[in-house]
Chains A and B, each alone.
Chain A
Amino acid sequence: MTPAPAAITGRYYPPGSSRQAEAVLHVVGDLWQLRTPEGEELITSGRAAIELAAPLGRTPRKITFPDGTLFESEDHAAIAQLDGDSSGAALHRVEAFHPRLVAFIVAGIAAAWVIWRYGLDILVAVAVWMTPPVLVEQIDQGTLTAIDRTMAQPTKLDAETQARITDIFAQLVATLPEGDQDRGFTLYFRDTPRIGPNAFAMPGGTVVMTDQFVKQFGEDDIVAGVLGHELGHVVEDHGLSQFYRALSIFVLVAFIAGDTGPIIEDIVLEGNLILSLSFSRAAEAAADRFGVALSHEAGFDPAGLAEFFEKMSRNFQGESSWMSTHPSPIDRVQAINELIKALD
């Protein structure tokens, strides 16, 4: 049975022109004909050569004739009949505001959670793997220069002490698995009266220990434990991972949800920095494990790291900036003691 001839009113534009005029589309079987409201023929074509744009919300349906003539109409019901069961029409039906969308909301939230929990780690690992070593070296150099300019002075430690600690450092590096030894490990000493005792590592293998640290915690075992901890950060790529994590979330949100607008964009980036604190606690615990195992293997007393935290918590009772990004020293001492028990 051929469908009844349809007459659909709308507007038309000649090929490549902005001239707009009213027109009526007449459909007889396979032939589609555009006429002026007065009934004069404008163009006729077989259905197969005509491009019918998929429905999208309540925006006008667009019909393009082979020569580029464009016809558009808001008569959605009539055009839907012509459209039949195209894939575009099916998509349009799914998108309609309907309780079934709840299923999509649930699926969306579930998928977002899976990405958050598992997908991010994979993305971050791939990104770390793809980062050119040159770039990482530049990060190290840049950071060290910035530290020297703002808060550090050349070390005032005597050569003998420096040699003793550099020796411990070299011993630890030599104990690392062979593949990890050539990651550009270098130890620097700096005098930093404002930051106080500290030791930190950069992604490219640069490790900095402050004079204040050596003066307060200079025993071999403690130095070995703390340097082992810092080497753990480098070997397990904690610094780069944290950076890529924040960046990945930012990119994923833009990619999946679309344009979030100016303020949410900022919140997603900055908020991730705050969220990364919880990730940094996990990283600290992992680095503790690494430091205990490494210092033990290199022949030091693995209790050195625990001793460091005990001293720390005695010297700076709750008054240290160290606390916000690091797990409580007492918990860490306990965790380390358990690790040491497991070593034997």
Chain B
Amino acid sequence: MEQKFEFRGDAKEWFGIWIVNLVLTLATFGIYSAWAKVRRNQYFYNNTYVAGRNFDYHATGKQILIGRLIVFVGFIVYSVLGAIPILGLVLPFLLLFLLPWLIVRALMFNARMSSWSNVRFGFTGKPLRAFLVYFLFPFLSVFTLGLAYPLVDRAAKKFSINNHRLGSARFDLDVAIAPFYKAAGIALAWIVLVLVVFALPLLGTVTQMFQDPSGEPTPTQIGTFIGAFYGIFILGFLPALFIYQAFIRNAVYNSTTLQGGHRFRSTVAPLKLFWIAVSNAVIVLFTIGLMLPWAQIRLSRYLADNTSLLPGPSLDEFVNRLEDEASALGDAYADLDGFDVGLPV
């Protein structure tokens, strides 16, 4: 039977936690932010349920703080060494090889620090593969004018999902390439539509601006140009981004299985997702950020409501892998901000 994901967080409750986090972070010159991050993750993980069992986040503030200090010291060392002429040219290449390793470490850390129904997640990806899917493939796809981008995106999704485990049960993403090209095609079609409707009438002004070689463009011309640029960005590119991501999310969830006969389903509607993001942004800006907790809860609830688990015979059979518990000590500080996969919703 289909089990819906459920988000039980409450905007008022989260507001209290959020504002206290914020003030303590400011009062401690940012040091508390490590503990704030833990509290934030715990709130969102613990409030996300599926089949009556919730997620949990287990990292401690101390671990996050030490991890950040290591990154900070590393950055300073890098900057100092970068000032030495020859090293300065070599270092960026070294970093290119160090980064995949760090990313894999961070994914491992975040997986191990997350659990569902008392069983920890795990991550088994290799740095070499991370280098390929996050650095080399995207770089190469530039030479195909982005035509290969859906292939690159699918490789990245497969790398992330196929290397995650819940206890010893593996996730597996087996998805055809067609949905990726379809999503990209629809997103592109949206951009073209916006260009035709909104940008074509402005073409005259713009060509006039570039054809007139003498003197500077007039403020009206520049105003029109900037206005058109933002208009196309807001009405064209942003919705296209949401369209693409929503379609891909649905395709990825619907093609992912978890060992034990479990499957997933996602029913996110692209334009609804875009509407939530836009109205959230407007409300947050007009309340100088005070409605941000409400906006975050709203988005989490929408995503949870549109995600479900199609469980196999039993949800009681997941078990922790012993080696995870043994090796967790080794990279206790490998958190890398910006490389959290976050909750699977």
Using a CB–CB cutoff of 8 Å, the interface residues on chain A facing chain B are 13, 16-20, 56-60, 62, 70, 91, 94-98, 101, 104-105, 107-109, 111-112, 115, 130-135, 193-196, 255-264, 266-267, 316, 318-324
Residue contact A13 to B117, C-beta cutoff 8 Å: yes
Q: Residue B127 at the A interface, CB < 8 A? A: no
CA distance A262 to B299 in the complex (A): 11
Query: Which residues of the other chain, A, contact B37 by a CB distance below 8 angstroms?
Result: 258
Residue contact B83 to A263, C-beta cutoff 8 Å: no
Residue contact B46 to A59, C-beta cutoff 8 Å: yes
Contacting residue for B83 out of A16, A62, A134, A320, CB 8 A: A134
Query: Which residues of the other chain, A, contact B278 by a CB distance below 8 angstroms?
Result: 263
Residue contact A57 to B17, C-beta cutoff 8 Å: yes
A-B contact count (CB 8 A): 175
Q: Residue B138 at the A interface, CB < 8 A? A: no
Residue contact B27 to A111, C-beta cutoff 8 Å: yes
Residue contact B216 to A196, C-beta cutoff 8 Å: yes
Using a CB–CB cutoff of 8 Å, the interface residues on chain B facing chain A are 8-10, 12-23, 25-27, 30, 33, 36-37, 39-40, 42-43, 46-47, 52-54, 56, 76, 79, 82-83, 85, 88-89, 116-119, 167, 213-219, 222, 238, 241-242, 277-278, 280-281, 284-285, 288-290, 292, 295-296, 299, 315-320, 325
Residue contact A316 to B47, C-beta cutoff 8 Å: no
CA distance A112 to B56 in the complex (A): 31
CA distance A132 to B23 in the complex (A): 34
Residue contact B319 to A17, C-beta cutoff 8 Å: yes
Residue contact B292 to A18, C-beta cutoff 8 Å: no
> Given known contacts A57-B43, A97-B16, what 5 new A-B pairs fall within 8 Å (CB)?
A17-B319, A17-B320, A256-B22, A257-B22, A260-B292
Query: Which residues of the other chain, A, contact B85 by a CB distance below 8 angstroms?
Result: 134
CA distance A60 to B46 in the complex (A): 8
Residue contact A20 to B316, C-beta cutoff 8 Å: yes
Q: Can you list 7 A-B pairs with a CB-CB distance of less than 8 A?
A: A18-B116, A59-B8, A95-B13, A134-B85, A193-B214, A195-B216, A321-B217
Nearest 8 interchain pairs by C-beta: A16-B320, A13-B118, A59-B46, A18-B318, A132-B82, A263-B281, A134-B88, A19-B316
Residue of A nearest to B325 (CB): A16
Contacting residue for B33 out of A20, A107, A255, A267, CB 8 A: A255
Query: Which residues of the other chain, B, contact A322 by a CB distance below 8 angstroms?
Result: 216
Residue contact A107 to B79, C-beta cutoff 8 Å: no
Query: Which residues of the other chain, A, contact B20 by a CB distance below 8 angstroms?
Result: 91, 94-95, 101, 104
Query: Which residues of the other chain, B, contact A319 by a CB distance below 8 angstroms?
Result: 216, 218-219
CA distance A131 to B199 in the complex (A): 40
CA distance A16 to B117 in the complex (A): 9
Query: Which residues of the other chain, A, contact B40 by a CB distance below 8 angstroms?
Result: 258
Query: Which residues of the other chain, A, contact B9 by a CB distance below 8 angstroms?
Result: 57
CA distance A101 to B12 in the complex (A): 11
Residue contact B26 to A108, C-beta cutoff 8 Å: yes
A18-B315, A57-B14, A108-B19 known; A316 and B216 CB under 8 Å?
A: yes
Query: Which residues of the other chain, A, contact B8 by a CB distance below 8 angstroms?
Result: 58-59
Residue contact A62 to B56, C-beta cutoff 8 Å: yes
Distance of B281 from chain A, by nearest CB (Å): 4
Query: Which residues of the other chain, A, contact B39 by a CB distance below 8 angstroms?
Result: 56
A111-B26, A132-B88, A264-B284 known; A97 and B15 CB under 8 Å?
A: yes
Residue contact B292 to A257, C-beta cutoff 8 Å: yes
CA distance A195 to B217 in the complex (A): 9
Residue contact A130 to B79, C-beta cutoff 8 Å: yes
Contacting residue for B216 out of A70, A95, A109, A320, CB 8 A: A320
A20-B53, A108-B22 known; A261 and B299 CB under 8 Å?
A: yes
Query: Which residues of the other chain, B, contact A321 by a CB distance below 8 angstroms?
Result: 216-217, 219, 222
Query: Which residues of the other chain, A, contact B17 by a CB distance below 8 angstroms?
Result: 56-57, 95
Most B C-beta atoms less than 10 A away, residue of A58, A134, A135: A134
Residue contact B53 to A18, C-beta cutoff 8 Å: yes
Residue of B nearest to A112 (CB): B26
CA distance A195 to B222 in the complex (A): 13
A56-B17, A134-B88, A263-B277 known; A107 and B53 CB under 8 Å?
A: no
